[in-house]
């Protein structure tokens, strides 16, 4: 597996860590996944959650769902997992006493910065949301906080991965048909 260049990863992580953070918490933790076994384990977490998600659709919508390319965990040259360490003492709790969710918001800002920096570098960031968070934490770091999985691919590679399926799902949405499983 060919990974993204280290200097590129470094620039993306620098952008992420430069994001605003309530109370200067800087609670985002990025794990660069290079081990194929860990990728495979993360993919297994996706597969199990995907079976459950597919079961929520019926008929033609289920067939469309089954045809979607919803992740790039194994194909993407690089995977990052992002943790929000909301239990950290950094920032001394400033801004979190009345709104503890600001920890997660700060991590979302870090992901957003990384996403924008990646696009400026010709890299596409995916956000795999069809995962059991508890199972993902077990794979990454037992006892770790909230985790997200972000496959990274050069734009030209991403365009080859599933463009047809993205188009069919979005076409149905544009035509006014609901993506909800009961419609």
In order along its 183 residues, the chain shows pLDDT tens digits of: 578 899 999 999 999 999 988 776 777 888 898 899 999 999 999 999 999 999 999 999 999 998 888 888 888 888 888 888 777 666 666 666 777 777 788 888 999 999 999 999 989 888 888 888 888 888 887 666 666 677 777 665 555 555 545 455 455 555 554 444 443
What pLDDT, on a 0 to 100 scale, did the predictor assign at position 49? 94
H-helix or E-strand spanning residue 13: helix 6-17
Indicate the pTM of the whole model.
Answer: 0.76
Q: Of all helices (H) and strands (E), which one includes residue 20?
A: none
**Residue 46: φ, ψ to 5°:** -60, -50
Reading the block at residue 45, the tokens are: 């977490």
Is the separation of the CB atoms in 174 and 163 below 8 Å?
no
Cα radius of gyration rounded to whole Å, the chain: 18
> What is the spatial distance between Cα 165 and Cα 167, in angstroms, rounded to a whole number?
5
Q: 3-class secondary structure for 71-126?
A: CCCCCCCEEEEEEECCCCCHHHHCCCCCCCCHHHHHHHHHHHHHHHHHHHCCEEEC
Q: Quick one: pLDDT at residue 171?
A: 54
- Contact by Cβ (8 Å): 165, 68: yes
At residue 45, what are phi and psi to the nearest 5 degrees? -60, -45
Residue 151 has what pLDDT? 74
Residue linked to tokens 């048909």: 177
Counting every residue written for the chain, the total comes to 183
Q: What is the pLDDT of residue 54?
A: 95
């Amino acid at each position: 597996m060919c990974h993204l260049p280290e200097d590129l990863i470094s620039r993306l992580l620098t952008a992420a860590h430069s994001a605003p953070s309530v109370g200067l918490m800087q609670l985002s933790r990025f794990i660069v996944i290079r081990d194929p076994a860990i990728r495979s384990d993360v993919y297994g977490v996706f597969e199990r959650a995907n079976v459950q998600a597919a079961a929520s659709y019926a008929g033609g919508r289920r067939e469309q769902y089954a045809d979607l390319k919803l992740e790039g965990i194994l194909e993407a040259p690089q995977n990052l997992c992002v943790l929000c360490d909301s239990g950290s003492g950094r920032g001394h709790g400033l801004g979190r006493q009345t709104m503890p969710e600001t920890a997660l918001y700060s991590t979302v800002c870090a992901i957003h910065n990384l996403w924008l920096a990646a696009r400026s570098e010709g890299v596409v960031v995916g956000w795999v949301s069809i995962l059991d968070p508890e199972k993902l934490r077990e794979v990454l770091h037992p006892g770790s906080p909230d985790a997200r999985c972000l496959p990274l691919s050069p734009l030209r590679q991403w365009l080859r991965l599933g463009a047809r399926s993205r188009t069919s799902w979005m076409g149905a949405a544009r035509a006014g048909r609901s993506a909800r499983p009961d419609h």
